[in-house]
Structure 1
Amino acid sequence: MKSIFKHFLPILFLLVNYGAVAQNQAREKLLLDFGWKFAYGHPFDPAKDFNNGTSYFSYLTKAGYGDGAAAKNFDDRAWRDINLPHDYAVIQPFSEKGSFSHGFKAIGRNFPEVSVGWYRKTFQIPKGDLGKKITVSFDGVFRNSIVWLNGHYLGTEPSGYDSFEYDLTDYINYGGENVIAVRTDATMEEGWFYEGAGIYRHVWLNKSNKLHVASNGTFVRTEMDGTTAKIKVRTTLINQDVASRTFLLKQQVLNRDGKILESQQSASITLKPLEHKDIEQVILLPNARLWSLDDPYLHRLQTIISESGKIVDNYLTKFGIRTIRFDANEGFFLNGKHIKITGTNNHQDHAGVGAAMPDELQYFRIRKLKEFGNNAYRCSHNPPTPQLLEACDSLGVLVIDETRLMGINDYHLNTLKKLILRDRNHPSIISWSVGNEEWGIENDVVGARIVSTMQNFAKSLDSTRAITAAISGGVGVGISTAVDMLGYNYIRHKDTDKHHATFPQQLSWGTEEGSTVTTRGVYVDDLEKHYLSNYDRPQNDHFFSLEDGWKYYVKRPYLAGMFIWTGFDYRGEPTPFGWPSVTSYFGMLDLCGFPKDYYYYLRSWWTQKPTIHIFPHWNWSGKEGQNIPVWVYSNADEVELFLNRKSLGKKQMPKNGHLSWEVAYVPGTLEAIGYKNGKREINDVVKTTGEASNIKLTAHQNSIKANREDIAVITVDVLDKNKLHQPTANQEIEFSIEGPGKLIGVGNGDPTSLENEQFLSEIQTFEIANLQEKLSETKIEESAVSDLAKQSGWQKAFADERLQPFGEKYAAVLYKGEFNLPANYTDGTFKFFFNSIGKQQSVYVNGKQLASNIAQSKNGNTFELDVALLKEGKNEVLILTTPLTKKQSWETVNSNPGLIQMVVPASAWKRKLFNGLAQVIVQSTGGTGDIILKAKAPGLKEAILKIPALPAPQRPAIP
């Protein structure tokens, strides 16, 4: 039995770390993503911001005085139900008054009504958790977030990208209800690209012993001696107890399956109350399996604190065993092997969902990049979500991790510190970037000083990785002379050879290159429509074309490699256009992840996969006899082109180049055949198609996990009667869904599309206005309410102080108020979220009684209203009460009878095809069974896709 327990112990540790229910549980990490409430506030009008910060004592004046929507007892029942991650920018329409850099979304300074978002979450904490350390951590909130728990102000985080954590331990109502409130303000932009808005990353509730490993408190570094790995572990321990604690610290190296490979235990350690201590340990692991691009194998480090034989904390760290080295003349080496960096820059948004990307979408995007040989990812230009780094670790992609803002004060350096401490165990990260295109300081001594300070600070935290900064201006001055690893942004007019000769010890690579602008599926410029051809060319004279850029880097060994601007298109920066273009044109893939043609150029020269790609499509009705430029990307030795089986000639493929022909258009079949060593190896075909007749739906995975988080990314394609892809189709497709799934976003990659990306119900609320009262010293019978309502003698409600003498004098109070409905009220469904304003009360709307003599309720009452009862314009509310009173003058009684909520159901989900393609994303709602997605359009055969939602464990979460 003892041997069996030993065998399963590592697996038990893994489960406990992720919050599985277990006896003597030492640490829990619980997802706090589900069951939030959301509503819009206002950046400068307190009345529209739920009167937050307007009380006599504000939340900055005295502890626990969060008011308005920050108050624990605030009534949020009329708010929208949402789960996280959530981006309230992506659901806004487009407007010419919106920001160019943010894709003209109607959010920001010109749109105050939708630029502030409020979130509230109610949850329980068991009594048994009293005595634990409990924190809440946010992976990222855009932006200027303010957080309260039970009305207690926790803090403000100005950045939309930094992860942050607050201690809840002493504020919690153990054994009862707790409310976390978050106010976000996206009025001010932080970057010059689409950034989203709101709690767009995960939130976690963490529970641990007061003696524990600090948050992000392990640092694992690896060295190799032959096949033996030397694993150096630094652990930061904290004792937040009131007494000294004496304990043992054990480190266990586990393989992917949870098997213990090696372990080490410390001698006895003592920490005084509130003491921090770093403990260094070294573990030797023979025959170590390395992390690499082709075999991204991840080990686990289980850090165990035990006291008197009892485990009081366990902390799991994923890491990879690998070595990295940069050489000023030869570039980059991974595990001693030379690797040319073939990377892309990317922002953090995707079609349909904006910045609120489910975890699987991170993996989907990294796989798409890796397919064409992208081996490195630059986080442009901000700390990424942790799940992006996990995807790079798991799939084998190198990373430049970048801080948001250069500077030397506490804010700047603490931001950099949080980034490094959070991310330092990811084997994918090979460099910390401390700046990007800081034009105001790039070329002067101030910039050199700042980068030196930031660089030295970063090295004090992690000396194992290169420190870089990206330079777009001149080199040989300022930042470029002081940074260890120079990042060139666009070298068309820079002499890198001269700079390398002048600074021979400086490392260097291309942090941005290419900057070509194209529109997927377009082969003739249409400047009126803002569409640009897919034939590779530089944006202007300041840039290389993609091909010329790669040729420059590949022949210079001292340049470690290059990062193309960009892997994916992104919202904002629609260079070289403005309105109504709303997304960029730079990507190798469009906003949905559909490849543009030069995806295949990169695949030809960045991978060893046999590749051949011919373009354009061959649908050119009306251009018969006219020459069409035909390009072929391939890594074959030679390529021969055929039109309707007639050879148009065989050509030798230039290294790192492409081939082209001028072909007089004739409908039919265009075929390119690639030869390797004189033998036919690969071919590609484009054919003239007929009109679209069928819709085709294809999911990126055959099933999804029934865990409320997993997704299927669906490609929407149209085919002609011969089942050929129709490359110019632009019909509008309508979608519907059945079963345990929901639609969360649609897109098509069209940079000028102003269509909705999500289709949600519309929620409006109406206050009970002009509240008046009629006081009575005797009881009022319900039968008399209607007549009394018509009489005069009303006064402003709650004009008299509600102390006990008031209750002794008046036996009843009749209140009268009104709410006004718009002309389209018949489209909606209605609820009256009623709040008690009496000890007993009867409630009427437009003369119809909703409730009779109901008792005061702490949580209020909800009444569904029949639309037939309502009318456009003024509607009357009557409330007959036994009055509320208070004992002391500083107490308050509720004077707000509640809100009327109108919900207009969402319209059907739909999206136009763009050059034959669109995309829809389906997410699990938690149940098992078949999700049925249907797509239809006039004149096309309906498509039906079945996606099984299979049983799967859900991550431990707060319900």
Structure 2
Amino acid sequence: MLFRSFTLPSRLLLAALVALISCTQPGTLSSPGSSPLPLTFNADWEFVRDVDTAVGPTFFARTDPSKPWETVGLPHTPRLEPVVTAGRQWQGTCFYRRFFRISPADTARRVAIRFEGAMHEADVYLNGRRLQRHQGGYLPFTVDLTPYLQVNADNCLLVKLNNQDNPTIPPGKPLKDLDFNYYGGLYRPVQLLIQDRLRITDAVESGRVAGGGILVHYENVSPQQATLHVQTEIRNDHHAARPAKLRTVLLNTAGQEVARAVTAAPLLTPGAATAVAQTFSLKSPQLWSPEQPTLYRLRVEVLDDKGRSVDQQEVATGVRTIRFAPEGFYLNGQKTRLRGTNRHQEYPYLGYALSDEMQYRDAWKIKEAGFNFVRCSHYPPSPAFLRACDELGILVMNSIPGWQFFGGEAFQRNSLQHVRDMVRRDRNHPSIVLWEAALNETDMSKSFMDQAHQAVHEELPFPTDVYTCGWLDYAYDVFIPARQHAKAPDYWHKYNKPKPILLCEYGDWEYYAQNAGFNQTAYAGLKESERTSRQLRGQGERALVQQALNFQEAHNDNFVGPAIGDANWLQFDYKRGYAPDIESSGIMDIYRLPKFAFYFYQSQYGPAPDALGFGKPMVYLASYAQASTAPRQVRVYSNCAEVELQLDGKTLARQRPDQDQYSSHLQHPSFTFTVPPFSGGTLRAVAYVNGKVAAEHLRRTPGPAHHLLLRIDKSGRDLTTGRQDAVFVYATVVDAQGTPVPEAATPIRFAVTSGDAELLGDNPVAAEAGIATTLLRAGRTPGTVQLTATAQGLPAATLSVRSVKP
């Protein structure tokens, strides 16, 4: 949901703009008047960690020589973590504080602070008074500051955070035993809300079952018509009763109004809240789907007794219907195979502290890989990631925090509250089709599962379009086991219960644990380390080919039996508490560089591009074209009907896809070619659709390292200033012809020579498979940033990067 809250008397428009600008100045907070957004409150924080944890008067004093306060922006991580963690990530207590002033005019309004993510136990203080404690690092909470503000004087907002092991806070399991890291800090954005006291509530803060905020639901959906139900909760915090009306407008992608209603609310007494229901009939709606993710904008305004708009929120909404059945998943009445992946949200160095743009880039890569579905393993993601899935057309399984841990009464109570808060925060996203109200791979009690399943349906009390899921075959609407939860070679082929089954993980553990069976015989000569799907990019062509074959074999096998779809483990390499190395079964590495398996999945989508241009004809040679003294097999991935392989311009073969045990159920099987011995040359794959060339991919035998090539990864979003946004910078070691040298492990040093930006992490960085990566973070001033990369024996490379305003 896109959350916006503001007042709109036209006479205050100029004041609002002035206030919005002045609020960005260090230490200053002015009334937003009719500001068009909640004020971002992410700059000019002060941070300290590893100090005395008892909060005393010095924490609220501007001059505090006893503590080394550092000025930081949000999102923020308490410590830049090494890519390979020799020890455990940082855990402990840290503090954030921000000084600001409030104007007398704002004392007549409601002033609150909203945290999107604070890991994972937070105590919030204002001017020495503790206002609230919140437990849980993945979901938002709001703190009302109004009664405690000092007018025309400094206010000090202090947040004390503790991310140490706590068995009552999900995920609960000690970090040293956990299969992911949860890092720390104010790692998601913070908003300052200055609102009229007659306002739309926030669903999580309101805490009402199936209430609070704006709740959107569609019925009777078809290409011809749809019925839109909107429920909005408004609250009166004035000292006297207030009448109000709701004006709701639905806008299409062109900004044209397609529906409108003005509805009177009951007279609201002081402190009272009420829900107002509105119904709209839509003609010829544009339906939301992965191929065409059309979004409408729903604008809801609160009007006072003079007809003035005093509060407003907007929701991005998509018209669609879903149905899960034992025989398949249906989107808008069409049977749709869920072709998905799992995603951990961490970055190297920064942990969880990702900007909204970085969240979008991750979603872009998932769509670019050919997936139409993602499981948010194993916790609720950033709202920005869900907005990106809405915009890009990615179906989502939203999940509560949990992995192999079932705590006591307090833990279970907190987990059930997480279920409700997750649904309340995310219920309006058209991308979400499943609610994983279960603790992953955890032996939950039946009572807990019943309550978790019931909680989702209580929060969304609709007869259609609401589905829970869990890894145990009990209580939930959809059964989501991992492939390895059953035994080879049948796995879940013979599952015959009248319940939809979706394989939520596959492709990693069954190979890592050597129980897959199929290609283990064919590759009997491989070492144990070569059989697994856990392959780093730097482990070479053979390892990457093996990983891709494992995923292909498992994905093909998942079509046997009743599974309605699958999600591989996983999109990006990640770190976990119980091991010092990187878990490397991602189809992209932790720096978001693709492995061969990425292109196998990309080949399963298309070749007709969707509305956003994804799914175009593609072809990829899974080889570095290195010299060979014996004939060798080369695998090619393509979504086209035919592929021709050429060696130095001479056609070796032109053929249709493979027909083997790894391809029997795939929409686009791979192509396998035999290449004769050669000492060096150029391989070219040419893909054809209807007899015409549709895509090409060239591989050239690399020569000696000659120079560096620099590039950044935008993935649909420019480097953005003032938001702690960072992009990956890749320095590739290439030969004289510009061919990457995959065996290069050259140390490369990066530098920013001009512009407002900084580099994060290790420097120099050793190249892996010929590529060294760093992170470039924008400052506050937009413009050109000049980068250089240097390596011993190679000429320096330069790159100009443009940073832009939000």
Name the CA distance, whole Å, in 2 between partners of 1:683 and 1:359. 34
Name the CA distance, whole Å, in 1 between partners of 2:118 and 2:671. 47
Name the CA distance, whole Å, in 2 between partners of 1:317 and 1:330. 37
The answer to whether residue 230 in structure 2 is matched with residue 233 in structure 1 is yes
Q: 1:490 to 1:270 in 2, by over 3 A?
A: same
Aligned residue among 189, 200, 204 for 2:191: 204
Instruction: Number of aligned residue pairs: give it.
Output: 716
Larger displacement relative to structure 2 (253-262 or 170-179): 253-262
Contact between 2:224 and 2:283, CA under 8 Å: does it hold in 1?
Answer: yes
Name the CA distance, whole Å, in 1 between partners of 2:154 and 2:32. 24
Aligned residue among 427, 430, 440 for 2:430: 427
Aligned residue among 702, 725, 733 for 1:689: 702
Q: How high is the TM-score relative to the length of structure 1? A: 0.69
Aligned counterpart, 1:867: none
Aligned counterpart, 2:529: none
Larger displacement relative to structure 2 (88-97 or 68-77): 68-77
Aligned residue among 541, 555, 565 for 1:550: 555
Name the CA distance, whole Å, in 1 between partners of 2:384 and 2:371. 18
Shift of 1:948: 2.9
Q: 1:242 to 1:367 in 2, by over 3 A?
A: same
Aligned counterpart, 1:731: 746
**Pairs within 5 Å for 1:440-839:** 440-441=443-444, 446=445, 448-462=446-460, 463=462, 464-471=464-471, 479-490=472-483, 493=487, 496-499=492-495, 501=496, 503-504=497-498, 506-515=499-508, 516-523=533-540, 532-536=543-547, 545-554=550-559, 556=561, 558-572=562-576, 579=580, 582-608=581-607, 609-620=616-627, 624-626=628-630, 628-645=632-649, 648-654=652-658, 655=663, 656=666, 657-661=669-673, 663=675, 664=677, 666-676=679-689, 681-701=694-714, 704-745=719-760, 757=761
Deviations 1:435-482 (A, max 9, x none): 1433333xxxx2x332122111110111454433342xxxxxxx3032
Contact between 2:226 and 2:285, CA under 8 Å: does it hold in 1?
Answer: yes
Name the CA distance, whole Å, in 2 between partners of 1:453 and 1:363. 33
Contact between 1:613 and 1:633, CA under 8 Å: does it hold in 2?
Answer: yes
Deviations 1:70-126 (A, max 9, x none): 67875587322211111124336865443xxxxxx3x24xxxxxx322211111222
Aligned residue among 757, 770, 783 for 1:929: 783
Contact between 1:435 and 1:469, CA under 8 Å: does it hold in 2?
Answer: yes
Contact between 1:248 and 1:306, CA under 8 Å: does it hold in 2?
Answer: yes
Per the alignment, in what secondary structure is the counterpart of residue 480 of structure 1? coil
Aligned counterpart, 1:221: 217
Name the CA distance, whole Å, in 1 between partners of 2:18 and 2:265. 27
Name the CA distance, whole Å, in 2 between partners of 1:16 and 1:483. 48
Consecutive unaligned residues in structure 1, runs of 5 or more: 1-7, 42-47, 54-65, 99-104, 109-114, 472-478, 526-531, 539-544, 746-756, 759-908, 955-959
Q: 1:175 to 1:550 in 2, by over 3 A?
A: same
Contact between 2:629 and 2:679, CA under 8 Å: does it hold in 1?
Answer: yes
Shift of 1:632: 1.9
Q: 1:213 to 1:700 in 2, by over 3 A?
A: same
RMSD between aligned residues? 3.2
**Pairs within 5 Å for 1:156-171:** 156-171=133-148
Q: Which structure has the larger Rg?
A: 1
Q: 1:677 to 1:321 in 2, by over 3 A?
A: closer
Q: Which letter does structure 2 place at the counterpart of 1:417?
A: R
Larger displacement relative to structure 2 (584-593 or 349-358): 349-358
Aligned residue among 278, 287, 307 for 1:290: 287
Shift of 1:25: 2.4
Name the CA distance, whole Å, in 2 between partners of 1:588 and 1:480. 29
Name the CA distance, whole Å, in 2 between partners of 1:175 and 1:229. 52
Per the alignment, in what secondary structure is the counterpart of residue 363 of structure 2? helix
Per the alignment, in what secondary structure is the counterpart of residue 100 of structure 2? strand
Shift of 1:175: 2.3
Q: Which letter does structure 2 place at the counterpart of 1:215?
A: D
Q: 1:213 to 1:681 in 2, by over 3 A?
A: closer
Contact between 1:304 and 1:311, CA under 8 Å: does it hold in 2?
Answer: no
Shift of 1:699: 2.8
Per the alignment, in what secondary structure is the counterpart of residue 333 of structure 1? strand
Q: 1:300 to 1:16 in 2, by over 3 A?
A: farther
Larger displacement relative to structure 2 (592-601 or 640-649): 640-649
Q: 1:200 to 1:668 in 2, by over 3 A?
A: same
Contact between 1:305 and 1:314, CA under 8 Å: does it hold in 2?
Answer: yes
The answer to whether residue 251 in structure 2 is matched with residue 254 in structure 1 is yes
Shift of 1:616: 2.3
Aligned counterpart, 1:279: 276
Q: Which letter does structure 2 place at the counterpart of 1:919?
A: T
Contact between 2:320 and 2:430, CA under 8 Å: does it hold in 1?
Answer: no
Consecutive unaligned residues in structure 2, runs of 5 or more: 1-7, 22-30, 166-173, 204-212, 509-532, 608-615
Larger displacement relative to structure 2 (584-593 or 279-288): 279-288
Name the CA distance, whole Å, in 1 between partners of 2:57 and 2:330. 56
Q: Which letter does structure 2 place at the counterpart of 1:460?
A: E
Contact between 1:240 and 1:275, CA under 8 Å: does it hold in 2?
Answer: yes
Deviations 1:233-269 (A, max 9, x none): 0111222233222121221112345543321111352
Contact between 2:708 and 2:789, CA under 8 Å: does it hold in 1?
Answer: yes
Contact between 1:342 and 1:376, CA under 8 Å: does it hold in 2?
Answer: yes
Name the CA distance, whole Å, in 1 between partners of 2:18 and 2:456. 30
Aligned residue among 24, 31, 41 for 2:40: 31
Name the CA distance, whole Å, in 2 between partners of 1:18 and 1:560. 54
Shift of 1:18: 13
Q: 1:612 to 1:737 in 2, by over 3 A?
A: same
The answer to whether residue 120 in structure 2 is matched with residue 121 in structure 1 is no
Name the CA distance, whole Å, in 1 between partners of 2:82 and 2:769. 25
Shift of 1:17: 12
Name the CA distance, whole Å, in 2 between partners of 1:29 and 1:377. 29
Shift of 1:589: 0.9
Deviations 1:411-432 (A, max 9, x none): 2222211111111111111111
Q: 1:585 to 1:161 in 2, by over 3 A?
A: same
Q: 1:672 to 1:940 in 2, by over 3 A?
A: same
Per the alignment, in what secondary structure is the counterpart of residue 364 of structure 1? helix
Shift of 1:177: 1.1
Name the CA distance, whole Å, in 1 between partners of 2:443 and 2:331. 35
Would you tell me which structure has more strand in proportion to its own residues? 1
Name the CA distance, whole Å, in 1 between partners of 2:690 and 2:351. 47
Aligned counterpart, 1:83: 73
Shift of 1:680: 5.3
Name the CA distance, whole Å, in 1 between partners of 2:767 and 2:390. 34
Name the CA distance, whole Å, in 1 between partners of 2:439 and 2:227. 35
Deviations 1:279-310 (A, max 9, x none): 11112232333322233222222221122214
Aligned counterpart, 1:401: 398
Q: 1:630 to 1:225 in 2, by over 3 A?
A: closer
Larger displacement relative to structure 2 (631-640 or 232-241): 631-640
Q: 1:184 to 1:23 in 2, by over 3 A?
A: closer
